[in-house]
């Protein structure tokens, strides 16, 4: 039996309040559950060192599916990887954005201090169609992708026409 869709993605951040502000103002997500996490139960279930504590802030987009969980752990944060394409593990978080909102979102993220790797760019994906996308790093360097996708009808029409 298949597992359900992704419920949430947890992202370690250096300052949970600053990160929550960024995702709230930049993506329009809303804050939901706020919690402190600590103790043997969380240490055992997540394989954390004894004494690990954290401050958690959940944020939701338009639905309850695909929430973000921002976690600020006790201790000094470090970055050992930059999410390069050859590094094992999570490469990026991708968010669907209506095409009409893409330029405004890019400008808003730049104003919030995000490192945008390019302006919105239109790309043709074989057997799929045109997407418009750009990538940005949040204030802790996590790679985010924002993408406007073709409609299901556009995808099917492209496939009927031969795909490229």
* Counted domains in the chain: 2
Burial 5-40 (b: 16+ CB within 10 A, else e): eeeeeebbbeebeebbebbeebbebeeeeeeebeee
Higher pLDDT among residues 119 and 65, named by residue: 119
Same domain, 58 and 115: no
Residue owning tokens 């954005």: 97
> Based on the domain organization, do 96 and 70 belong to the same domain?
no
Q: What is the pTM of this model?
A: 0.85
Q: How many CA atoms lie within 13 A of 133 on its CB side?
A: 17
* Residue 151 domain flag: yes
3-state DSSP assignment of residue 85: coil
Answer whether residue 81 is part of any domain: no
For residue range 93-132, what is the model confidence (pLDDT) as tens digits?
Answer: 999 999 999 999 999 999 999 999 999 999 988 778 889 9
CB of 134 within 8 A of CB of 118?
A: yes
Q: Is residue 85 part of a domain?
A: no
Kindly state whether residues 133 and 160 are assigned to the same domain: yes
Where is the domain boundary, 50, 75, 100?
75
pLDDT of residue 145: 93
Domain assignment present for 80: no
Residue numbers of the domain that contains 7? 1-75
Q: Indicate whether 69 and 121 sit together in one domain.
A: no
- Do 7 and 47 lie in one domain? The reply is yes
Expressed in percent and rounded to 5, the helix, strand and coil fractions of the chain are 25, 35, 40
**Residue 83: Cβ-neighbour burial (10 angstroms; 0-12, 13-18, 19+):** middle
């Amino acid at each position: 039996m298949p597992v359900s869709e992704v419920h949430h993605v947890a992202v370690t951040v250096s300052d949970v309040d600053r990160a929550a502000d960024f995702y709230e103002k930049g993506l329009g997500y809303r804050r939901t559950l706020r919690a402190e996490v600590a103790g043997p139960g969380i240490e055992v279930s997540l394989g954390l060192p004894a004494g690990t504590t954290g401050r958690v802030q959940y944020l939701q987009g338009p639905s309850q599916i695909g929430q973000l969980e921002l976690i600020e752990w006790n201790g000094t944060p470090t970055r050992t990887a930059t999410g390069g394409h050859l590094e094992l593990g999570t490469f990026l978080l991708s968010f669907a954005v209506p095409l009409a909102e893409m330029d405004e979102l890019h400008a808003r993220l730049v104003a919030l201090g995000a490192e945008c790797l390019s302006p919105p760019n239109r790309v043709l994906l074989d057997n799929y169609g045109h997407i418009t996308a750009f990538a940005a790093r949040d204030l802790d360097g996590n790679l985010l992708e924002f993408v406007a996708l073709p409609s299901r009808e556009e995808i099917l029409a492209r496939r009927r026409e031969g795909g490229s």
